[in-house]
Chains A and B, each alone.
Chain A
Amino acid sequence: MIDSLCCRSRLRDKNAGVKSAFALITLVICIAARSFPVSAVVFVTNGVLTVWKGKIPASSYVRLLLVPAAFLLAGMAVIIVNISDVPMDAFAIPAGRWYLTGSRHAVLEALELGGAAMASVTCLYFLALNTSVTDILGVLRALHCPSLLTELMMLIYRFIFLLMETASALMTAQEARLGNRNLRTGLRSFGMMGTALFLRSLKRANALYDAMEARCYDGEIRVLARKQPAEAGDILLTVLFEAALTGVMIWSRIR
């Protein structure tokens, strides 16, 4: 999971608001522009920030970048390849009476889309790899997101790790008893694991509520956020970068 990498990041103690603003504004510009120059700048900048400044291991970063690759390849293939009875200008492979064919315009469009998508993924990773979930929740709270939602998210985030641990213990036990011998037993085991997990999570939830009640829970969870004041330099750099990026976008539009 990304979370464990995030704890190692050197940029972790920077102000979460600045990091989120940087990632989100860059993301929006990147999608709005959808052009090679903007995508290239964003891709390189985020790569440098995450791997060089944040000291996230390059191998993990590359592996993460490959996660959406299958989806992207399929998505681009669909845009490029048409089935038509008239061949188009980029390529045409005859298949019986029809052609698997595509136009130069579509190829260019698909490549631009691929570039923009990969660049946006680096924005997401910059945020995810350098900002802990608790900090992101702090930003949401500062943006006046309803407290019910932020509290729910905080609890869910905590529970995810509890349940993951339980699930992995259950699955190890099943594996040790040849529970995944073939597809049939595998499906059965997974279903039984789901049932047991659900039951245990209900018990955990009740126990947790009792514990919270014993500590004066009154419908609101108050947490002390660690203070990470925004540094003027970081804000300035972010503003400059976004301005430059907007410049590149306008330049690539009017070119």
Chain B
Amino acid sequence: MTKKEKILLKASAAFAVLFAAAPVANAMHIMEGYLPAGYCIAWGVVCLPFLVAGFLSLKKKIKENRRNMTLIAMAGAFIFVISSLKIPAPTGSCSHMTGTGLGAILFGPAAVSILGIIVLLFQAILLAHGGLTTLGANTFSMAVAGPLVSFGIYKLCGKLKVNRKVSVFLAACLGDLFTYCVTSIQLALANPSEAGGVGASAVKFLGVFAPTQLPLAVIEGILTVVIVIGLETYAGPELRRIGFLPERSAGASADIAEGHGTEKGGAGK
């Protein structure tokens, strides 16, 4: 074996180890201590306006009806549990949902920013996913950027009268992909490549995480569709009474009622 072949063998072995360990890797949480101090603070500051907006909107919701307090807390716990459970993945490995798309569709982007930062904090303390210093960066990618895109796409599809399943799928899937892109750019900004700078570095980070993140985004989309459709079938009245789906117009709720009827008919057969 020549020296070069040896190096090649070692490199490929390292790569194999990396992907053997990959199932342990969760969604795109930037680990504790990975970002330099300046970036930690900067991303925290970027999140601040979104967090304040979320805080005020939650405060208003709770003032309207105190019962919303337990509901909002339950929503936060729901996002945590859904994102911490292992889901089946095509490679046979196990991965986690991010739950951001689902959260944004059900609770709106403002509430998700606050719930997101709390969930991320608990994920760091209870599951060792993410960290305290990278909380700002992770909050921006997972609790602000992703949900905003999901919510925007969901609304846009609603306006364009796209099929509901398709719109939910697109919202969750693209929100997930956007989170993954934002995280890669965050990582690239902190570690610009020697040859090619931030751009080349971003491409490399995107490439390294693509094998786990691309299938995950599709799965996230499918699961969100199954959950949202399930909820609209079985919990339409509850959702509307609570006001978690405020965008429901009369026409859309008729749509649900109709879906409810057919689903029931299907179950009866």
Question: Main SS of chain A's interface residues?
Answer: helix
Q: How many residues of A contact B (CB 8 A)?
A: 88
**A152 and B118 in contact, given A70-B25, A199-B235 (Cβ under 8 angstroms):** yes
Q: Are A202 and B235 in contact (CB under 8 A)?
A: yes
From B40, B196, B226, A194 is in contact (CB under 8 Å) with B226
> What 0/1 pattern do residues 219 to 245 of B give for CB contact below 8 A with A?
100110111001100110010001000
Residues of B within 8 A of A192 (CB): 226, 230
Chain A residue at minimum C-beta to C-beta distance from B125: A128
Contact string against A for B residues 21-50, beta-carbon threshold 8 Å, 1 for contact and 0 otherwise:
110110001111111110010000000000
B133 CB contacts on chain A under 8 angstroms: 27-28, 31, 120
Of A120, A157, A160, A194, the most chain B CB neighbours within 10 A belong to A194
Q: A71 contacts which chain B residues (CB < 8 A)?
A: 25, 29-31, 34
Among B74, B129, B195, B242, point to the contact of A82 (Cβ < 8 A). B195
Residues of B within 8 A of A198 (CB): 78, 227, 231, 235
Residues in A whose Cβ lies below 8 Å from that of B7: 91, 93
Q: Roughly how many angstroms separate A71 CA and B18 CA in the complex, as a whole number?
A: 9
In the bound complex, do residue A27 and residue B55 qualify as a contact, i.e. CB atoms below 8 Å apart? no
Q: Contacts A201-B77, A206-B67 known; A34 to B127 CB distance under 8 Å?
A: no
List residues of chain A with CB within 8 A of the CB of B55.
Answer: 146, 148-149
User: Does B122 lie within 8 Å of A119, measured CB to CB?
Assistant: no
B residues in contact with A155, CB < 8 Å: 69-70, 73-74, 77
Query: Chain B contacts of A118 at CB under 8 A?
Result: 33
| Total count of chain B residues near the partner, CB < 8 A | 86
B53 at the interface (CB under 8 A from A): no
**Contact (Cβ within 8 A) B226 A121:** no
CB under 8 Å from chain B, chain A span 186-205: 186-188, 190-192, 194-195, 197-199, 201-202, 204-205
Residues of B within 8 A of A (CB): 4, 7-8, 11, 14, 17-18, 21-22, 24-25, 29-37, 40, 55, 58-59, 62, 66-67, 69-78, 80-82, 84-85, 87-90, 102, 114-115, 118-119, 121-122, 124-129, 131-133, 187, 191, 193-196, 200-201, 204-205, 208-209, 219, 222-223, 225-227, 230-231, 234-235, 238, 242
